[in-house]
Structure 1
């Protein structure tokens, strides 16, 4: 676990787990554009626009070039989005964002590019019929010649919205009502591009970025920070420089859980990683970033309703979510008081749409009904193996993790009745993003 936890710490550069290297291109002449050399973002560039596509690959734009993902060389933008140049001949993108509009599947996950007074809509790198349009046709009340744009889903903003930046003015566009409210955030640097990543919002300016609150524009923490330390792989930059993702054979988890929104959390030592849909990558954070009261790691974790339960020693911490977890008043409480058990907990999990938490202690599994008051053990059965590190229950059954391997059972009933150990499976990159 110590090796894996240290490796997670080294992996806190986003470049390590999201995006594929771009392809090299002839730098002499391409589509009529002469280039002495491809630009190098590690030299410190101010991006024109940043946006993820519908697959989660993040694109960084500068002049007629783009970078796909967090590492790799530049390529010409018109090789991925040819109409931006063929139709408009602008040579650069003013702003871009990926639409979040779950109520309208015809619009959801489309990428919008803004060039002067025009807007382009792409899906699967194909320009939608009828585009480009005047910005006012699609986004009435939004000015032209924008500096940056970023989506803001309901729950993070008051309603499903898009934030459009021009100078220090922020035009907040309500996707449903098409109403626009304008605020002036003079304390925030003038953003030349913006990005939403894992419910966090980043304003890029120069070769730096500032994280901000999308509702108030408030900035907490020490900013600006150099983008090369976080959003790209550059020599002599980042938390550990050119570090590598952990090998799957080195993985040893302390706990794992999936919450009601489908986000999966892996815990190892003082670090955790969150996996949404793989579109946004896998990235390591200190546990205190999300659960500030729990500093040095956890023994077990499980999710129930809209809450996440963290078990550390003989204490239970309950956090209410889902967007930003906050400790429920009165916690932590003892294991005995909260769950009716005592002793070290190795793993815990709740299956979807069930109210029973299955708690593994040594070579036994104890069931506790979460709807009962007081909570007591309702069933105790032996396990066919001991030394379990973590457990997870989902639509495909139960996974029990032990070192870099896991054992799969069809259901809690199958686990309870099993007396023969199933064949161990190796943790793979498909399971949690490690390196095979």
Structure 2
């Protein structure tokens, strides 16, 4: 096992206090948004095996099969297929979607062929991979996930009583749901800027009033969230787009899985996030960054439904596993009280992150690794890891079926 040194990303939406509180450090006064753990070239973890600090991507590139295991490299390639993060949102992130694997490969190839620089602000595809992800709440965590049924959003717009929203409500009732969601979403993203800014102002004001004056209303919690989004992004067309989506409040331990084409945004809270190793994001709003409406409309899945809050399920080893349909990652939670003697399954790469208490890990040589909140290690394939101590540990690895 290798203790990791990780990088904090200071994005503007980050909380100034959540990560310092978990890590036991003094706040700097600046946003601290994400702590990255893994081998992503944007901010790879560092480790030292006795010859000085090197990055985890360099270690894996030198011996992919030894570090990742034969089954993982055969199924998913010669790089760590997932990225683990601590994410601390103090303000809303951009409203966004991720492409599926075929869309990412085609989009990346097209932009490469057209000579679009990888760091160009208008570039959509930074790599050829998809980016499914899962967020597990460590605190109360607010987000938006997937389209609300069209009829429900029509009711919301009626409740807000804003004349400028009435055509959208009528359209949501008049057309088949997929068509209606596409047409309203398109209309919002292509509306004339001054007109949509006025609609945002009126809708946000109405949402704030509904939340304050009718706290028991079925849309009160969502309206409070939309009003807060508008406070951060006044006049942004993404505020109206956000009103088409389900508002979700996760309790600690609950999670959301976000597959391809699902519009979403994280609003506030601290969580553990895991994703496939990709940078591909198509933004819909709540950002000054590039929004490619035609490409966005090609990728978004105009399907409504329940956001599908995940709760962990115990497996035969005593782990609490967050089940997802993909091979690139699997996240599990381990409560180590009384766990001495519990050995984690080997044969695959693992990132192990402590978020509470003190967790002790022992490798094959019996040497202990004592982890405090925010500490993490990389265990290569074949490394036996025994749990001890008293705390909460998250384990990131590939899906069980990959290692069989």
TM-score range, shorter chain: under 0.3
Asked which structure has the greater RCO (Cα within 8 Å, sep 6+), the reply is 2
Task: Write 1 or 2 for the structure with the bigger share of strand.
Answer: 1
Bigger-Rg structure (1/2): 1
TM-score, normalising length: structure 1: 0.23
TM-score, normalising length: structure 2: 0.25
